[in-house]
Chain A
Amino acid sequence: METFWSVRRPVGRIRPGDHAWLGYCGVEEHDHVVGAFVREGLLARDKVIYLCADAHPEIPGVVGRPPASLLTVLETGHDGPGPALAALAAEVAAAERAGFAAIRVTADLTCAARDPEAARDLLDCEAAVERLVRPSTAISAICRADRRRVPPETMARLRAAHAVHAAPDPDFEDAVLQIVRTFDPRGLALSGELDASRHTVLDQALALVLAGGDHGPVHLDLAELRFIDLGALNMLAEVAARRAGRGPLILDRMPSQLHEVITTVGWNMLPGLQVGCAATPDPLPRP
């Protein structure tokens, strides 16, 4: 079912014509990604249409009380996805008439996708949204569902119906290093090269992960990390030591050359760091 042409795109780079999918695994991931989409839209004075099952949701990314002309909340209701689609089409048409250059739509499909009857209609509705968004030069959309609450086969179909998969914006990104939050498992994915020039940004990103979470383990996905210096290893070991008694710091998918360096230096010099899952030649597909 996986489409060959699907592309993983940070939420900040989602553009008009993108009909994107987000299978999130909890409030933290939902708010991180959807919040960025909503916040950017409101800041740019785009029209934001927020669909969910709740009549009075806490909308992530909203600061203060934006005017109703800018932010519209649609309740998806319990009569299947059809009425919600009609309401959405009407809102989009109204926003176009009002002269908005950009319209951001995000719809939570968790409730509809849980019901096998509604799920069939949902895929038809997705096709209609696709026809609405893809040719548009104004509309971008993120359809989303809690993947822990939706049957896997429905998730797979919904996922395949979207050519773009929404991803978190990097916490940090320059020509050398990229740091992105991960939510399942909780932690950070590091890519590029890490040395003293960028210790501070890793420290900040780690502090955010550690501050936001329970006391569970924190994972660092190192699959794309080509270099790590001794100072950064020291920093990680210090973080692990400060968390003693709580969840460990786990290094996942470590490239062999990094593993070799740490083995030469001695794991006994890095107490508190654990090796997680092994590096795989092909990165695991992300939901």
Chain B
Amino acid sequence: MSEPDTDPVPPPPTTRPAAPFSHRLLPYDDAGELLAAAVPFLRGGLRAADRVVAVTGLATRVLLQGELGAAADRVEFRDAASWYAHPARTFASALADADAEAGRGGRLRLLAEPAWTRRPDGEVREWQRAEAICNVAFARTGAAILCPYPVRSTPPAVVADARRTHPETVRGERAVPTPGYLEPHAYNDRCDSEPLPLPPASADALSIARPDLYWIRAYVSDWARRVARTPDEPLQRLLVAVTEVVTNAERHGSPPITLRMWTEPGGACVCEISDGGRWPEESWYGFVPPPPGVPGRLGLWAVRLLCSRVDIRTGAAGTTVRLTVENAHGGSRTGARARSARADPRLN
């Protein structure tokens, strides 16, 4: 499977960012260190008439509001637990906000306190990957992003990776280059260095020899309804995702194309499409959203939004795309907030 047409690195921005992009790590031990860096960051944004958004837990919010005083009213506070709902959707929503500000000649200033550091390993990895990809995707917007990591209450391995995904680290009001920072492609490859766990022996396997895509959907629907008991709404998202990935495999990949399906212990429905092709090096695998306002760019990126999770491995042995859809509405942690952020204003 070669890289789909819809997955290139975005072209240069059409709008000139008002300020250079920054994505900084703020490792802190206590509230004093947090406030010493976060408060000037937020105040600076208010002075510059940026759109200032603070994604935090309750404790940090109370601290910041106390320190900012009346200025806190002009900061948009978001609850971190629900904001970090779904890596691709949260990413899309934040990037759309940043693009919108850049389009107006302004800037998004985002304080983003990670609320995911104690979630399951697989999900933590996707948020860490988002931290790395953010350096590529948000550059065109000139956004300023500051990520405070509480060193004492965060697993050391997560702090270590935060140093690999943030180009700069803040100490007080100074920012210095982060010594261990990894180029995003390198970090992305590192995330996928381990092979995917093997499908269970009980997985349902279907060899796809170019039948009409209609029959593949009929087969997946039947299996998902009967075996996985997937409700209609997540099933529709899964069908769109499977159709896209099989279409890519038929257009760019090599036979044999195989579809496997199984259910996870928690009830999630997994569809895996593998083929004999190999994607080119330096692919973003649909992690980098297309630029706004350019039609015809829905592809693997949209598949990531539709599924709870997408895992891709490509190499000499072929390519595997594993799509996971939770039976619950929307995905593992998707709150109404992340969804409504991109709801169509024309409908209201």
List chain A positions with a Cβ less than 8 A from chain B.
176, 193, 195-197, 227-231, 233-235, 237-238, 240-241, 257-258, 260-272, 274-275
Per-residue contact bits, chain B 204-222, to A (CB 8 Å; 1 contact, 0 not): 0000000011100100000
Q: Does B121 contact A (CB under 8 A)?
A: no
A235–B213 CA distance with the chains assembled, in angstroms: 18
A275 and B295 in contact (CB under 8 A), knowing A229-B240, A261-B237, A269-B302? no
20 more A-B residue pairs beyond the given contacts A261-B240, A264-B339, A275-B346, with a C-beta to C-beta distance below 8 A:
A195-B217, A197-B213, A197-B214, A227-B239, A227-B240, A229-B244, A230-B240, A230-B244, A230-B302, A233-B298, A234-B6, A260-B236, A263-B343, A263-B344, A264-B306, A265-B302, A266-B305, A267-B346, A268-B292, A274-B346
Specify which chain A residues have a CB less than 8 angstroms from the CB of B298 in the assembled complex. 230-231, 233-234, 237, 265, 269-270
What is the chain B residue whose CB lies nearest that of A256? Answer: B233
Please indicate the chain B residues that have their CB under 8 angstroms from the CB of A240 in the complex.
Answer: 295
- List of B residues within 8 angstroms of A258 by Cβ: 236
Is B299 at the interface (CB under 8 A from chain A)? yes
- B305 and A264 contacting across the interface, CB-CB below 8 Å: yes
- Contact between B297 and A263, CB atoms less than 8 A apart: no
With both beta carbons as reference points, the residue of chain A lying nearest to B239 in the complex is identified as A227
- Whole-angstrom distance between the alpha carbons of A196 and B213 in the complex? 8
The answer for the CA separation of A271 and B345 in the assembled complex, in Å, is: 12
Given A229-B243, A270-B295, verify A265-B344 contact (CB < 8 Å).
no
Report how far A108 CA is from B217 CA in the complex, Å: 46
Given contacts A196-B247, A264-B339, contact A269 B297 (CB under 8 A): yes
- Contact across chains for A195 and B295 when beta carbons are under 8 A apart: no
Contact of B295 among A231, A234, A261 (CB under 8 A): A234
Contact code string B85-118 (vs A, CB < 8 Å = 1, else 0): 0000100100010000000000000000000000
Instruction: Tell whether B296 is near chain A: CB-to-CB under 8 Å.
Output: yes
Report the minimal beta-carbon distance from B248 to chain A, rounded to whole angstroms. Answer: 10
Contact between A195 and B96 (Cβ–Cβ < 8 Å)?
no
User: How far apart are B85's CB and chain A's nearest CB, in angstroms?
Assistant: 12
Contact A271 B293 (CB under 8 A): yes
Q: Kindly supply a per-residue 1/0 record for chain B positions 60-85, scoring 1 wherever the CB is within 8 Å of any chain A CB and 0 otherwise.
A: 00000000000000000000000000
Contacts of A264 in B (CB 8 A): 89, 237, 305-306, 339, 342
Q: A234 contacts B296, CB within 8 Å?
A: yes
DSSP class of B's interface residues: helix, strand, loop or mixed? helix
A268–B96 touching, CB < 8 Å: yes
Q: Decide if B347 is an interface residue (CB 8 Å cutoff).
A: yes
* Interface secondary structure of A, over-half rule: helix
17 contacts between A and B (CB under 8 A): A176-B212, A196-B250, A227-B236, A227-B243, A229-B213, A229-B244, A230-B298, A234-B295, A234-B297, A241-B296, A260-B233, A264-B237, A264-B342, A266-B342, A268-B292, A271-B292, A275-B346
Give, as a whole number of angstroms, the nearest-CB distance from B147 to chain A. 24
Q: Are B244's CB and A263's CB within 8 A?
A: no
How many A-B contacts if CB must be within 8 Å? 108
How many angstroms between the C-alpha atoms of A268 and B343 in the bound complex?
9
Contacts of B92 in A (CB 8 A): 266
Q: Chain B residue with minimal CB distance to A195?
A: B213
B296, A238: Cβ atoms closer than 8 Å: yes
CA distance A237 to B294 in the complex (A): 9
CB-CB under 8 A from A193, the residues of chain B are: 214, 217
- Pairwise interchain contact B96-A235, C-beta atoms closer than 8 A: no
CA distance A237 to B295 in the complex (A): 5
Residues of A within 8 A of B305 (CB): 264-266
Query: Is residue B264 within 8 Å, beta carbon to beta carbon, of the partner chain?
Result: no
Contact B247–A195 (Cβ < 8 Å): yes
Q: A79 → chain B, closest Cβ, in Å? A: 54
Q: Taking each of A196, A266, A274, which has the highest tally of chain B beta carbons within 10 Å of its own beta carbon?
A: A266
A147 to B299, CA, bound (A): 44
- Bound CA–CA A233/B295 (angstroms): 9
Contact assessment for A197 and B212 in the assembled complex, using a CB-CB cutoff below 8 Å = yes
- Per-residue 0/1 for B279-318: is the Cβ within 8 Å of any A Cβ (1 yes, 0 no)? 0000000000010110111110011011000000000000
Complex Cα distance, B342 from A203, in Å, reads 28
The CA-CA distance from A228 to B247 in the complex, in Å, is 13
- CB contact between A271 and one of B236, B247, B295 (< 8 Å): that residue: B295
Q: Does B232 lie at the interface of the complex (its beta carbon under 8 Å from any beta carbon of A)? A: yes
**Cα separation A231 to B342 with both chains bound (whole Å):** 20
Give the 8 A-B residue pairs with the shortest CB-CB distance, closest first.
A237-B295, A267-B344, A257-B236, A234-B296, A230-B298, A266-B342, A238-B296, A265-B302
Complex partner residue of A261 from B96, B290, B306, B339, CB under 8 angstroms? B306
Cβ distance B245 to chain A, nearest Cβ, rounded Å: 10
In the complex, per-residue mask of B222-250: 1 if CB is within 8 Å of any chain A CB, else 0 = 00000000001100110110011001001
CB 8 Å contact bits of B243-260 with A (1 = contact, 0 = none): 110010011000000000
- Chain A residues whose C-beta falls within 8 Å of the C-beta of B290 in the assembled complex: 269
A275 and B347 contact, CB distance less than 8 A = yes
Q: Mark B35-59, 1 if CB is under 8 A from A, else 0.
A: 0000000000000000000000000
Contact residues in B for A238 (Cβ distance below 8 Å): 295-296
Q: From residue B246, how far is it (CB to closest CB) to chain A in Å?
A: 9
Q: Is the CB of B346 within 8 A of A195?
A: no
Find chain B residues with CB under 8 A from A261 CB: 236-237, 240, 306
Chain A positions within 8 Å of B96 at CB level: 266, 268
Contact of B214 among A195, A270, A271 (CB under 8 A): A195
A229→B346 contact, CB < 8 A? no
Q: How far is the CB of B15 from chain A (nearest CB, A)?
A: 15
Q: Distance (Å) between the CB of A280 and the closest chain B CB?
A: 16
**B298 closest partner in A (C-beta):** A230
- The interface centre, meaning the residue of B240, B299, B347 with most chain A CB atoms within 10 A of its CB, is B240
Q: How far is the CA of A270 from the CA of B243 in the complex (A)?
A: 19
The interface residues of chain B lying within 8 Å CB-to-CB of A262 are 344
| A237–B236 alpha-carbon span in the complex (Å) | 21
